[in-house]
């Protein structure tokens, strides 16, 4: 953790940002923005990918109760197809950040990874920030849980794909369902064309 970021000109309002859902074949990319108080039960936090579902859900309750501010932003599958997954991820983070900015002036945004969204405040990208920076860890947990819930709802609407099991990720079962049934409205067409490598074939047109 870059300690210098946390000890300049106190008090400083620091927003953590992270996203979930860059790899799936279906569904949106979801981002969260979180501002934590100085006194917080930091032990509940962790890398969302390393936490169990139970741990993530328990942490989410505490984050939403004790965070000073939090917000969710999404970019849809159609937006992902139109502007690509990287830009859609940055857009989702911009949307989450924008919701917080309407409520509080933010001095610094800390973003997981090596890419930064265009925000109206100083912004620092931190590789593996979701495992080292509390604000980013909290954002990662909220984003992951929100996206998982969305995909469970999608499973109710399009049960053939069993979204509640794989959350849209490219499991063998999911890919077979896409070949058998074609694509749902929440599938990312560009991802499937990239996988097939043959956009003009009959198979790719199913995608």
pLDDT at 192 (0 to 100): 85
Closest-CA residue to 45 (of 56, 36, 37, 54): 56
Q: What is the pLDDT of residues 24-78, one digit of tens each?
A: 999 999 999 999 999 999 999 998 989 999 999 999 999 999 999 999 999 999 9
- Mean pLDDT per segment of 10 residues, for the chain of length 207 residues? 49 92 97 97 93 96 98 98 97 98 96 96 96 97 98 97 97 95 95 63 34
Domain locations in the chain as residue ranges = 3-146, 157-206
pLDDT at 201 (0 to 100): 30
The architecture of the domain spanning 3-146 is 2-Layer Sandwich (3.30)
Q: For residues 165 and 200, give the distance between their C-alpha atoms in angstroms, rounded to a whole number.
A: 31
Is there a cis peptide before residue 61, judged by omega within 30 degrees of 0?
no
pLDDT at 197 (0 to 100): 55
pLDDT at 199 (0 to 100): 42
pLDDT at 193 (0 to 100): 81
Q: Please report the sign of the dihedral spanned by the C-alpha atoms of residue 96, residue 98, residue 101, residue 102.
A: negative
Closest-CA residue to 151 (of 165, 140, 141, 172): 165
């Amino acid at each position: 953790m870059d300690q210098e970021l946390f000890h300049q000109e106190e008090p400083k309002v620091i927003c953590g940002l992270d996203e979930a859902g860059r790899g799936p074949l279906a569904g949106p990319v979801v981002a969260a923005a979180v501002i934590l108080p100085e006194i917080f039960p930091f032990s509940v936090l962790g890398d969302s990918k390393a936490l169990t579902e139970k741990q993530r859900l328990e942490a989410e309750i505490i984050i939403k109760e004790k965070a000073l501010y939090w917000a969710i932003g999404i970019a849809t599958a159609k937006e992902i197809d139109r502007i690509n997954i990287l830009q859609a991820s940055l857009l989702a983070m911009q949307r989450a950040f924008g919701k917080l900015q309407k409520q509080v002036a933010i001095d610094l945004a800390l973003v997981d990874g090596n890419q930064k969204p265009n925000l109206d405040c100083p912004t620092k990208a931190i590789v593996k920030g979701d495992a080292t920076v509390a604000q980013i860890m909290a954002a990662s947990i909220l984003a992951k849980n929100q996206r998982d819930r969305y995909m469970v709802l999608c499973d109710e609407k399009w049960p053939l794909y069993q979204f509640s099991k794989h959350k849209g990720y490219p499991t063998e079962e999911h890919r077979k369902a896409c070949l058998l049934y074609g694509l749902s409205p929440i599938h990312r067409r560009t991802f499937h064309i990239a996988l097939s490598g043959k956009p003009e074939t009959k198979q790719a047109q199913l995608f």
